[in-house]
Structure 1
Amino acid sequence: MFSANWIYNAWADHLRQALNGGCFEGGLSFDKDTLYLRFASNSKAYFTLEIKFLDGHLMILTSDRVFDSTDYRKGIVQFKEIENQPIYKIVNNPSDRWICIIFSNRMELWFKGFGKYGNVLLRKPQSPETLQIFRLSQKSDWEFQYPDITENHGQFEPLQEVQQIELSNETEINLVKIGDLPFSIPNLVEAQLQFIKKYYFYQAKQNITSNLEKKLKHLKKILLEANKRLADIENRRSNKELGDLILTNAHSIKPGLTKALVTDYYTDQRIWIKLNPELNAAENARKYYGKAKNEFIEISKLQEQVTVTKKSLAQMETSLNSALSATEFKSLKPLQKSNVGKSEPKQPDTLPYKIIEFQGFTIWIGKNNKANDQMLKLCLKNDLWLHAKDVAGSHVILRKKGAEFPQVVIDFAAQQAAKNSKAKTQHVVPVIATLRKFVSKPKNAAFGEVNVIKEEIVDAFLK
C-alpha cells in the first residue's frame, strides 16, 4: 500500500536532510514485524525510524520511543556491526523501491520494498555477500541481487511518474497532498499510522469472527449428533419392554434358544426377540433391563448436552453478531477479554467418548477404560470397533452409515486408535478392526477388557 517508488524517494530525500553528518546508534526489535533503528544527527539530536512489516510489506515510520536498559534486556539487538558508524551517504533509485544507507566503513544498510517481500538487509562493503537480514523467513534475501550503486553506475534517472494512492476511506495520497493536508513526511507518517490502526482492527475482527464461526460449526455438529442419537433411541424398541415380554413369556422360552417368538401385548403382534443361549429367560430379561438402565443414563446425558449446547450456541451467535457489527477496537474488547474469540466454552463431560467427523462418518473415541465399557454398550452391533493391537489404548467406534465402510474412513479411524494408544510414537501401528457384534465383555473383567471373536488387522501409518 505505502511501498510506491515515489514514497521511497520522498523518504530518501527526508533521510538525507535528517541524518546529514549523523551516525547509527543501534537497532532493536521485540517481534518479527517491527524494527527500531536509532540514529544521532550532527546536532546530537536522536532520530528513530520504526520499520513495520504488514503481511511482508515494509512501511517506514518515525518514533518518539526512548529505550532503556529493560528494553535492551527484553529485545534483540540488530545490526551491531554498524553501531556508532558515521553515515557516508544515502542512495536510492527514484524509480525503484529501495533505499541504501552507506556508512563510513562502507557497510550498507538496505531498505527493500518489493511488495510482500520487504526486508532490511546489511551488506558487506562492496561485496555481494549479505551479513544479516531482519526477516529471517525471507531466506532468498541471503542471495539478494543488489543494484549497482558504485560511483560509475549509481546515477539514476529522475522520477518520471507518480501513481496516486487511494485508501479505503477515499483519502488520496500523492506528492501534493495527503487527503486535505499538504504532502509532508510527518503527514505521511500520520496517514500510515491510521492505516496500521485499521489494519490491526480488521485483522483482530477477522480472527475473532473466524474462530467464532469455527466454534459454531463444531457446536452444531455436537447438537446434531446428540439429537440424532436421541432420535435413534426413541425410534427403536425399548429394552425395558423387551425384558417385560421375555418375563411374560418365560414359560414358553426353552433354554439354549438364540431367539424366541413371543406375543407382543403392546401391539398384539408376534415378534422375535434375540436371546443369549447360555442364559435362561429370567437372566435374558435382566440383561435387557441392564441395557434399559444404560439407555436411560445415556438419554439423560444427551438431553443435558443438548440443553448446554443450545445455550452455548445462543451465546456464541450473540458474540458473532457483535463482532461482525464492530467498527472499532472498543467494540471488540469485551470479546477479547472474555476470550470468546479464542477458546470455545467448555462442554460438560456428559458422554464417555469424544466425537469427530470424517467424510460424513461419525467416530467415537473412548476417554478412559471405564468410558470404553460404557461406549461398548451404547454402540450398535454393526458399528466397527477398533483398538491398537497388544497395547493399552482407547476403544474407537466407527458408526455404521450405508452398506459398507470406505477403506479411507477405516484407515482414518485406525489412525485415531493408534494415536490414542501407548503405541502413538511408532510409525506403523497394527490396529484390530471388527464389527461390534464380535466383541464381548467377559464376566468380572476389568474396565476396558474385552474378548474379540473375529478380527482383521489394519496398519495405521502415523507421521
Structure 2
Amino acid sequence: MNHNNYYFLKHLTAKLHSILQGALFVEGFSTSKQELWLLFKTTDGSYFPIKFNTINTDSVLSFPIDAPLPKNKQPQFRLFESKVVVEVKVHDFERSFHIQFAGGLYLYIKLFGKNGNVISLNQNTVVDVFRKQLKADTQLDFAQITAPQTIAVSDLLQAAATTAEVAKKLPFIPADAVEELNSTGYFEADAAQKKQMAERVLNTLATSQFYISKTNNGYALTFYNKGEVLGDYTDAITAQNDFARLYLGKYFFEEKKNNLVNTLKQRKDKLEKEIHSKKTKLNTIATQTPYNHIGDILMAHLYQLQKGLEKTTLLNFYTNQNIDIKLKKELTPQENAENYYRKAKNQVKEIEVLQDNLQKAETELVEISEKLETALQAADGKSLRGMEKDKQATENIDKPTLFKEFEKSGYTILVGKNSVNNDLLTQKHAAKNDVWLHARGLAGSHVVIKTKPGQTVPVDVLEYAASLAAYFSKGRTDSLCPVIYTEKKYVRKPKGAAAGQVVVEKENTLLVKPAFQ
C-alpha cells in the first residue's frame, strides 16, 4: 500500500491524539527545505517530536523520540510556541490530518506525495506554510477540508466490477487491500460473496495490525502478512518509525550512490579526454620536425640567408626534402637558429611534463574506474563507506577554477575572467616575482605567469602568455597586438581606481599574434 493512506492515518492519528492531547508545542524548525521538525512536551513531561520529510515524489512522517535534536535549524511556526494541543484528527477519506491548538490555531499536515506540506492556520485563515513553493496552499479552504464526509464505502465497494473502478470511485482504499480482493476472486464472486469479502477487507483496515515487507522496489507498510515480511506491529507509531527508517534509508543511500557514481563518471570522462589530448600533443611533437633540426638546417645555410626574412624554404638534410621555416624578421639568421635551439630545449621539458602528467592521468583513470565499478555494484550504505572522501576529493579536482588556467612547458599561466577577477588575480594571487602581462592600451584580462625560484621564464612561455593576453583583450581580432610585460612588483593599484585598473611602473613590450591554444 501507499504508506500515506486514509485507513493507516486513522490508526496513526488516534495514537498521536492519545499522546499529544494537552501537550505544549515547544518549537518548530527546519533543517533543510525538505525536513521539518515539530517538538511537543507531553503532559507527563516527556518530549515527542514529529518529523516531516519530502523526498522525490513522496512525503514521509517519523517520530524520532530517541534521536538527538539537530543543531543547525531554522525556526518555523513560532506563533504556536507554548500553545496547548486540543486534538489530533484525520480528515475523512483523505491523506491528511490536523493538530488543533487552543485559541483556534491549527497545523494542517497533508501527505500528498510530492505536494506534501505543513500549513499553519488561525481559524480558516492560512498564516504560514513550510513549503512556500506550493502557492496553492496559501489559498486553501480549511473549513471545506475538515468538513465531515459520508461515503457508503461497503456499498460502493460491492458495486465495483474491476480494480480500476475501485481506484476511481474509492481512491482512499489502499492498493494492497484492492490486490487482496483481486487475488481472492472478488470481482468474479456473486453478490453475497462480495459482501462478505468486502466486509472482511474493511474489518482488516479497521484493525491495528500492520506489516513491513520487502518489495522489488523497496519497502511497503501494509495491512497484510504477505511477501518477505520484516516485521509485524500493533502500534502505528512504531510501525511508521521502522518503515520511515527503512524507506528513507534506502532513498538516501540511492541518492548518495547516484551522486557518487555521477561524480566518478564525470571524473572518468575528464581523465579520458585529458589522456587523449596529451597523447595527441605528444604525437604531434613526435611527428613534426624537431626544433634542434631546424636550428641545424639554418646554421648550415647561413650564407643563403639575411636579416628581415619572415620565412624561408631550405633543404632538410635529415629527410632530403625541402622544409618551410618561419623566421623572425627582426633577428639575424644565426639568432633565428639560436631561437630554435632554445625552443628545442624548452620542448624537452614540455615533453617531460606531458609524459609525467599522462602517466598520472592513466594511473588515476585505473583507480577511478575501479571505484566506479565498486559504486555501481554497491547494494547498501556499508559498501559506500570510505568513498565519500573520494567523492569530495574528485569534486575538489573538478570544481571550476578561480581563473582561466593554461600550461606551457611546465609553467602555469593564469588569466583573469573580468575586471573584479583581474584585481583578485593581480593583487591577491600573483607573487611579486611572477610575470604580469596585459594588452597595451586595450581593455582586457590580466595575465600572470607563475615563476619558478631561480629560473628565468623561457621565451616561448613568455610569447605564449603574451598571445593569450592579446586574445583575451579588445585586440583579439587584430593581426598583431602589442603586449606589455613586467614583474608583478612593478604593478600597483592606485587608491580609488576602478576594478581592474592598475599603474605599471616598468615595462617591456612584445608584438604578438592573438592566439588561444
What's the TM-score, normalizing by structure 2?
0.65
1:388 to 1:116, Cα distance in 2 relative to 1, 3 A: farther
> Given the alignment, which residue of 432, 440, 447 partners 2:475?
432
Deviation, 1:289, is: 1.2
Q: 1:106 to 1:325 in 2, by over 3 A?
A: same
- 2:275 corresponds to which residue? 223
Verify: 1:291 aligned to 2:343, yes or no. yes
Aligned partner letter, 1:162: P
Structure 2 Cα separation of the partners of residues 4 and 387 of structure 1: 72
Aligned with 1:141 (options 137, 141, 144)? 137
Instruction: Classify 1:322/1:455 alpha carbon distance in 2 versus 1 (closer, same or farther; 3 Å).
Output: closer
Q: Is the 8 A contact 1:176 1:183 kept in 2?
A: no
Find the partner of 1:174 among 222, 226, 229.
Answer: 222
| Match in the other structure for 2:190 | none
Which residue number in structure 2 is paired with residue 154 of structure 1? Answer: 148
Distance 1:211 1:387, change over 3 A: farther
Contact 1:88 1:103 in 2 (8 A): yes
Structure 2 vs 1, CA of residues 266 and 42 (structure 1 numbering), >3 Å: closer, same or farther? closer
Residue 86 of structure 1 deviates from its aligned partner by 2.9
Flag the 1:237–1:196 CA change in 2: closer, same or farther, 3 A: same
Task: Find 2:486's aligned residue among 436, 439, 446.
Answer: 446
Give the TM-score, by structure 1 length. 0.72
Contact map agreement 1:386 1:432 (CA 8 A) in 2: yes
Shift in Å, 1:285: 0.8
Q: Which residue of 2 aligns with 1:234?
A: 286
Contact 1:387 1:431 in 2 (8 A): no
CA deviations on 1:257-286 (whole Å, 9 max, x unpaired) are 333343322122343433333332211211
Structure 1 unaligned residues grouped into runs of 5+: 356-366, 374-384, 396-415, 422-429, 457-463
**Maintained 8 Å contact 1:176/1:182:** no
Partner SS state of residue 266, structure 1: coil
Label 1:345 to 1:123 Cα distance change in 2 as closer, same or farther (>3 A): closer
- Would you say the 8 A contact 1:90–1:101 is kept in 2? yes
Alpha-carbon distance in 2 for matches of 1:348, 1:274: 25
Cα deviation code 1:207-228 (max 9, x no counterpart): 1111111111112222111111
Match of 1:394 among 405, 424, 447: 447
Indicate conservation of the 8 Å contact 2:24/2:41, yes or no: yes
Deviation, structure 1 residue 441: 7.0
- 2:330 maps to what in 1? 278
Match of 1:80 among 78, 81, 85: 78
Q: Measure, in 1, the Cα distance between the counterparts of 2:441 and 2:49.
A: 61
Deviations 1:321-374 (A, max 9, x none): 12112222222111124445543389998453589xxxxxxxxxxx9796888x
Specify the structure having the higher radius of gyration (Cα): 2
Q: After the TM superposition, which residues 392-431 of structure 1 pair with which residues of structure 2 at under 5 Å, given as runs?
A: 392-394=445-447, 431=474
What is the CA distance between 1:8 and its match in structure 2? 3.1
Pair 1:273–1:391, CA change in 2 (3 A): closer
Partner Cα distance (1:306, 1:282) in 2: 36
Helix, strand or coil at the partner of 1:434: coil
Question: Which of 382, 397, 406 pairs up with 1:344?
Answer: 397
Partner of 1:110: 108
TM-fit CA distance, 1:105: 0.7
Aligned partner letter, 1:55: N
Q: Which amino acid is 2:175 matched to? A: Q
Report deviation, 1:393: 1.8
Number of the residue aligned with 2:36: 35
Greater CA drift, 131-140 or 236-245: 131-140
SS in 1 for 2:49: strand
Tell me how far 1:309 sits from its aligned partner. 0.9
Partner Cα distance (1:28, 1:40) in 2: 15
User: In structure 2, the residue corresponding to 1:122 is in which secondary structure?
Assistant: strand
Letter in 2 for 1:431: K
Q: Contact 1:440/1:452 (CA < 8 Å) preserved in 2?
A: yes
Contact 1:164 1:173 (C-alpha < 8 Å) held by counterparts: no
Q: Equivalents in 1 of 2:334, 2:96: separation in Å?
A: 89
CA shift for structure 1 position 390: 2.8
Code of the residue aligned with 2:480 in structure 1: it is F
Q: In the TM superposition, what whole-angstrom CA distance separates every residue of 1:159-178 from its partner, at most 9, and x where no partner exists?
A: 65222298436755433448
**Residue 386 of structure 2 corresponds to residue 334 of structure 1:** yes
Aligned to 2:124: 126
Tell whether 2:2 aligns with 1:7. Answer: no
Specify the alignment match of 2:240 in structure 1. 188
- The question of 1:163 aligning with 2:211 is answered no
Q: Which structure is higher in helix share? A: 2
Distance (whole Å) between structure 1 residues aligned to residue 306 and residue 45 of structure 2: 107
1:267 aligns with 2:331: no
Hey, what does 2:254 align to over in structure 1? 202
Give, as a single letter, the amino acid of the residue that structure 2 aligns with 1:59.
V
User: What amino acid sits opposite 1:24 in the alignment?
Assistant: F
Unaligned 5+ segments in structure 2 are 154-169, 178-213, 400-404, 416-428, 449-467, 488-506
Write the distance in 1 (CA, Å) between the matches of 2:66 and 2:106.
Answer: 25
Tell me the CA shift for residue 434 of structure 1.
3.5
Describe the shift of the 1:310–1:329 C-alpha distance in structure 2 as closer, same or farther (beyond 3 A): same
| Distance in 1 separating the partners of 2:218 and 2:307 | 88
Q: Distance in 2 between matches of 1:441 and 1:386?
A: 4
